Structures are given as C-alpha cells and as structure tokens.
Chains A and B, each alone.
Chain A
C-alpha cells in the first residue's frame, strides 16, 4: 500500500516538475524572441523540415479521414434521406475537430519525436555544452527556430488537412456513393462558416505550441545514454498526444464561445 502511494506521489511530483520545466522553457523562448535577432537560416531549415516535409503525411491523413468520414455519414444519412447533408457535416467536422487534431497528432509523431531525439542526442554527446562553451545560448540557437517554425507551419498544415479532407469527402460522396454534387456542395458552402475554419486554424496554432514545448523539453531533459534518448522520444510523442487531446476538449468550448 505504502509502495503504491509512493509511486503515485512520485509520478505526481514528476508531472509537476515537467510542467514547471515547460513553463520556464516557454518563458525563456519568449525572452529570447525579444533579446536576440532571429536566425533566418535556421528558421527556414526548420520550416522545411517541420512544414514542407510534413505535407505528404498531412495530405494523406486528411484525405483518408475525410473520405472515410463522408462514407460513414452517407451510409447512415441515406436511410433518413439526408445524403446531401453529408457535405456540411464532413466540412464542419474537418474544420473544427478532425483536421486540427489529426494533423497535430501526425506532427507530434513525426516532428515532436524528431525534436526530442535530436536534442537528447545533442545533450548526451555534449553538443549542447559545446554550444554554451562557444558562447551561444542554446535556447536561442536550438529552440527558438523550432518554436517559430512550428507556429508558422502548423496552421498551414491544418488548413491543408481540412482542404484535403473536404475534397476527398466530396469525391467519395459524389463520385463513389452517388450523392448529387450540386446539393452536396451548396449545402457545404451554406452551412460552413468562417468561424469553423478559424477554430481549426487557432487550434492548430496552440497545438503547435504544445508539441514544440513538449518535444524540446523532453530532449533537453533527457537522461544519459541511448536509453535516455529512446525514452525522451517515446515520452515526447505520448505526452503530446495526451495533452493535445485534453487541450482540444477545452479549446472546443473556449473557442466556440469566443469566436
């Protein structure tokens, strides 16, 4: 019994510690943004890695989710004679929930893990100490470009996922399942509002902050050795998934009342 209590206590303390580290890292990033000039070369390199190289993954994910969702909706709505309502349902779901959440999960898996692994490897091979020894502040050199690149690219990737989802949904509903295209598209345009798109993009922006902070913090605080790198990488993905899903719940209510 005591052992279980100790384990729970230790995990709780670990969570508090990690939260504190992330808050300090965020504060440090904001300070660096005002204190140092932005390294444009590093920023472009990160935009390429985080944004451009994620485009195929995000397009495939968005397209197939949109396609499957449209098919399932059509199967259910057909019995009610509401097949033309599939369009707005798919569009709103893609904009508000599926687009931002699935895109964030894909980016957490592809980019958050890479950030954690790269920074953890740099830590254990003393490359971060070498940066400090060469009078370069690691947060400014390593973290700020990743942070900015994620904030810039994630809303764009979310937008792309939404577009692909809606496009694929249209294709499946109209060309595969035979829903009349004019009704489908007219209903989609009629019932999808700017607000729905903004909610998706704003969520993408905040999910970006979550992914980059968790990924970088896990890398910077990794334990020594190969096991430390592996653990940091796994935890970066798992923690980002959980926090994105929990945050999404609160953002849904918050953004719905604000926007």
Chain B
C-alpha cells in the first residue's frame, strides 16, 4: 500500500485558521491561514506594518484574534485564559524585536530568568548554563553588565540567549537581524539554523532580511494585505515571477519619482 503524504510530513505544531485582528480602526490581519510543521523553520516576510509581529504575538497567545483560531498542537489559544497558557508558554521562546530585556536585572539575571522561573534547577547549574549561553551568542563574561550598558546588537544577542536557554520546542523570532551589522547578522542566522537542527526546535522567523530568509528558512510565507499570499520553499519564493512577490523580494518600491 502506497504511503500517504501525511506519513512523510511531520505533524503541524501551529495551525492558524482564518485569523483576523484589528488594531484601532485598522484591520491588520484579514483571515490568515497557515500551518507550521513540527521541526521546520518557517520564515514570514511582508512589508513593514503589515502585521507580521502581530501574527507572531497571536502564535504565542500574547494577542487574541477577533475571529479565527490559533492551534498550538491540540489547543486553541483563543479559548485559553492567561493561566491556561502558562504550560504552553514554557515550551516556547520568543526573541522580541528590540530584545525586551528586563532593565532591573543584569545580563546574567536576564538570561537565567527562564531557568529560575521553571524551578528545580540547581543554582550552580544555572550559572554554568548562563555562561554557556552567553558564550554561544559571543558575549562571554558579560553577566554583571546592565542592559543599558549594551549596544542594540548585544541586547538582541542577550535576548536570544534568554529565549533559547530553556531549549523550548517552539522559537519565535521577531526581526532577529534588524539593526545588526552583516557579520553579527550572519552569526545570528547560523545560530537559528543550529538551534533548529540540533535541538529540533520549530522556528518561526519574521523578517525583512532576504539573506536571512534564504539562509534560515525551510519554507517562506509572504504576508500581504493581511493574508498569507503564498507559502513555498525559499528557492521558489525568491525566484518567483509573481509581481507582488518579486517586487518585495527585490526591494522595488512603487513610489512615484516626486520629491519633497
């Protein structure tokens, strides 16, 4: 008996069904349908202000859809209250666009935060895990610094160490390489690939950075006018002849020639 496609494909970890969201009077998401498979690295591209970060926050349950469903395995996040989401969030890590490090904690305390919150971890083990995580993001011996003493790129790397230290099943990245120099951006890209491959993490990466999308993504989804316009392998999306996709991928604006 021939195998069905579902025998080969991993199960969906995240399933978005008809997700709609308005912020104020603006309708940001207009019926997003997207499946993210277990262990895959899904890159979501789209224009600034197009709702990519909002979509990411729906996947983590930080925002609730006005309509539609957000399934994390067999649970619809839209139906859960804040406390029912706690066990699911323990399986999740998120890198925020500007790091979102806690100002009142040192770098070491920030990175140790998820481990301390989970409890049952020996303090010595926490210290060694923090040192290891900071070394991986190329910031060794920075434990005692305060977030205000770090540059934007360093803050982002500390935030990445914090998000990944508890080895979550799902990692969400909001613009992981924006504001970074090409060398650091490349190291972040490689780190995202390694985390995905070695720890079999499912990754959802929101980015404008086409280099990052090509290097990291197993699949790319394009968000356009509040809906998923297309989903496919990086090669197919980046070589697409569709005018909307092509214009975004090649960075061609549709602005007129007029100047101020």
Report the bound CA distance from A130 to B94 in whole Å: 8
Query: Does A127 count as interface, using CB distance less than 8 angstroms?
Result: yes
- Residues on A with C-beta less than 8 A from B85 are 135
Report the bound CA distance from A132 to B101 in whole Å: 13
Report the bound CA distance from A132 to B85 in whole Å: 9
Question: Knowing A134-B89, A135-B86, A137-B82 touch, does A127 contact B103 (C-beta < 8 A)?
Answer: yes
B117 and A129 contact, CB distance less than 8 A = no
Binary per-residue interface labels of chain A (125-159) against chain B in the complex, 1 for a CB within 8 Å, 0 otherwise: 11101111111110000000000000000000000
Q: For the complex formed, measure the closest distance between the CB of B24 and the CB atoms of chain A, giving whole angstroms.
A: 11
The one of A127, A136, A137 in contact with B100, judged by C-beta atoms closer than 8 angstroms, is: A127
Contact residues on B (Cβ < 8 Å of other chain), bracket: 20 to 34
A126 and B102 contact, CB distance less than 8 A = no
Q: Which residue of A lies closest to B61 (CB)?
A: A132
A129 and B62 contact, CB distance less than 8 A = yes
- Residues on A with C-beta less than 8 A from B60 are 132-133
Q: For the complex formed, measure the closest distance between the CB of A77 and the CB atoms of chain B, giving whole angstroms.
A: 51
B117 and A133 contact, CB distance less than 8 A = no
B98 and A126 contact, CB distance less than 8 A = yes
Q: Which residue of B lies closest to A130 (CB)?
A: B100
B114 and A134 contact, CB distance less than 8 A = yes
Report the bound CA distance from A135 to B88 in whole Å: 8
A135 and B117 contact, CB distance less than 8 A = yes
Question: Knowing A134-B114, A136-B117, A137-B82 touch, does A129 contact B96 (C-beta < 8 A)?
Answer: yes
A132 and B89 contact, CB distance less than 8 A = yes
Q: For the complex formed, measure the closest distance between the CB of A39 and the CB atoms of chain B, giving whole angstroms.
A: 11
Query: Does B167 count as interface, using CB distance less than 8 angstroms?
Result: no
- Residues on B with C-beta less than 8 A from A122 are 102-103
Report the bound CA distance from A133 to B60 in whole Å: 7
Q: For the complex formed, measure the closest distance between the CB of A43 and the CB atoms of chain B, giving whole angstroms.
A: 14
A126 and B96 contact, CB distance less than 8 A = yes
- Residues on A with C-beta less than 8 A from B114 are 134
- Residues on A with C-beta less than 8 A from B162 are 134
Q: For the complex formed, measure the closest distance between the CB of A142 and the CB atoms of chain B, giving whole angstroms.
A: 10
Report the bound CA distance from A20 to B98 in whole Å: 32
- Residues on B with C-beta less than 8 A from A129 are 57, 62, 96, 100
Residues facing A in B83-108 (CB within 8 A) are: 83, 85-87, 89-90, 92-94, 96-98, 100-103
Q: Which residue of B lies closest to A129 (CB)?
A: B62
In the A-B complex, the 9 residue pairs with the smallest Cβ-Cβ separation, listed nearest first, are A130-B100, A135-B89, A126-B100, A133-B94, A135-B90, A135-B86, A126-B96, A127-B100, A129-B62
Spell out B's residues near A (CB within 8 Å). 57, 60, 62, 82-83, 85-87, 89-90, 92-94, 96-98, 100-103, 113-114, 117, 162
Listed by A's residue number, 8 A-B pairs whose Cβ atoms lie within 8 Å are A125-B100, A126-B96, A129-B100, A132-B89, A133-B60, A134-B113, A134-B114, A135-B87
Apart from the given pairs A127-B100, A133-B92, 16 other A-B contacts in the complex at a CB distance below 8 Å: A122-B102, A129-B62, A130-B94, A130-B96, A130-B101, A131-B102, A132-B60, A132-B82, A133-B89, A133-B94, A133-B96, A134-B89, A134-B113, A134-B114, A134-B162, A137-B86
